[in-house]
Amino acid sequence: MTQGVQILFWIIVFPGFLFTVFLGLLVSWVVRKVSALVQYRVGPRLYQPFVDILKLMGKEILIPRDAHLALFVAAPVAGLSGVLLLSTMLWRISIAPSTEFVGDIIVAIYLMVLPSLALILGSSASASPHAAVGTSREMKLIMSYELPLVMAFIVVIIKTAGLVEPNHQLNLAAIAGHAPILSISGMTAFLVSLLCIQAKLGFVPFDLAEAETELGSGVLMEYSGALLAVWKVVQAMMLVTLPLLLVMVFLGGFGTKGWSVVWGIAKYLLIVVILILIKNTNPRVRIDQAMRFFWLYCGSALVIAIILATVGNYYGIRWL
């Protein structure tokens, strides 16, 4: 019984829903504020993202006449549950590593796709031509960045496999104890996965699924009121979770004791600031450009990284 309550508390209050939503909205303020400062503007007030969500909660929910009602309403909830599980899992591994299984790198890869998949379902259920174009772009974008992202994780697995003690399983908590970024292959994998995260968050060079100026917010076009608020919350939570995953996989984890908390926050903010700067200095790419970029350039860079990591592992060269 008490364990059940404990798990519910984890999911709903502390590392899960409330905490991550609060942090995510705060970080989305940071994104807007830094973007404003880059453009020599003042930018929004600190509570702006919170007010936006509150306002959307009070608005009318419009369902398009031709939409598939159940799918249209269920999709945001499915996306929210996916990112909620992912964030709870990652925080749980960072805060209280334990022997019991809470999920690992494969589960993380699987849960990361869920919000995008739900977005595809929801927008294709809305029966809007603009959303349909956005949906097809989102689908192609997922196909483009999933492969490099998985390959980047493979590099990390190869790099850290030799560092784990015998009779110990390689898992996220073990990976988080090392920093594979301090090697050529790890650095390459980190840079590529940073770009994949950029695409997953729908940030500017890869925001072609939303594409405000040409598709009128594309995949989210038909959502209004509370359903749109759920999507905004999902995006805010992704903004916390995905950089956290990168910190755990590449930068040596998010410590919870003493100064390592500050160090962890610094690593997290570093990733967020890089994402914001890429967002503010690039134009939107076309979908064919994005696919070519991820498969041809990122893919071949990662093949080289995998070879380097394997060679380095075989001969015991740590920096390769």
Partner 1 sequence: MGWKTWSLKRSPWVFHVNAGACNNCDIEIVDLLTPKFDVERFGIKLVGSPRHADALLVTGVGTKQAAIRLREIYRQTAKPCVVFCIGACACGTGIFQGGYHVAGPVDQIIKEVDPNAIIAYVPGCPPKPEAMISGVVKALSVL
Q: Name which of 54 and 265 has its Cβ closer to partner 1.
A: 54
Q: Does 318 bind partner 1 (CB under 8 A)?
A: no
CA distance 84 to 104: 15
Closest distance of CB 56 from partner 1, Å:
8
Asked whether the beta carbons of 59 and 39 are under 8 A apart, the reply is: no
Q: Name which of 1 and 42 has its Cβ closer to partner 1.
A: 42
Q: Name which of 35 and 171 has its Cβ closer to partner 1.
A: 35
Q: Does 129 bind partner 1 (CB under 8 A)?
A: no
Please report the DSSP string for 188-245 in residue order. HHHHHHHHHHHHHHT-GGG-TTT-HHHHSSGGGTT--HHHHHHHHHHHHHHHHHHHHH
Q: Please give the residues from 269 up to 298 whose contact with partner 1 meets the rule CB under 8 A.
A: none
CA distance 222 to 233: 17
Closest distance of CB 14 from partner 1, Å:
26
Q: Name which of 39 and 167 has its Cβ closer to partner 1.
A: 39
Q: Name which of 52 and 104 has its Cβ closer to partner 1.
A: 52
Q: Please give the residues from 50 up to 69 whose contact with partner 1 meets the rule CB under 8 A.
A: 51-52, 54-55, 58-62
Specify the length of the chain in residues: 320
**201 phi and psi, to 5 degrees?**
-80, -10
- Within its chain, how far is the Cα of 93 from the centroid? 17
Q: Please give the residues from 26 up to 55 whose contact with partner 1 meets the rule CB under 8 A.
A: 32, 36, 39-45, 48, 51-52, 54-55
Q: Does 234 bind partner 1 (CB under 8 A)?
A: no
Q: Does 75 bind partner 1 (CB under 8 A)?
A: no
Lookup: tokens for 292: 């070519």
Closest distance of CB 134 from partner 1, Å:
11
Q: Name which of 54 and 96 has its Cβ closer to partner 1.
A: 54
Q: Name which of 189 and 221 has its Cβ closer to partner 1.
A: 221
If one counts every other C-beta atom within 10 angstroms of the C-beta of residue 143, the result is 12
Q: Name, in order, each residue with C-beta under 8 angstroms of 221's C-beta and a sequence gap of 6 or more.
A: 123, 126, 128, 130, 131, 134, 215
Q: How far is CA 279 from CA 194, 195, 283, in A?
A: 12, 10, 8
Size of the site for partner 1 (CB under 8 A): 31
Closest distance of CB 299 from partner 1, Å:
32
Q: Does 138 bind partner 1 (CB under 8 A)?
A: no
CA distance 91 to 88: 5
Q: Does 233 bind partner 1 (CB under 8 A)?
A: no
Q: Please give the residues from 196 up to 225 whose contact with partner 1 meets the rule CB under 8 A.
A: 212-213, 215-217, 220-225
CA distance 260 to 176: 13
Nearest to 253 by CA among 152, 194, 178, 171: 178
Apex CA 298: angle with CA 117 and CA 122, to 5°? 10
- Residues at the contact surface with partner 1, assessed by CB under 8 A: 32, 36, 39-45, 48, 51-52, 54-55, 58-62, 212-213, 215-217, 220-225, 228
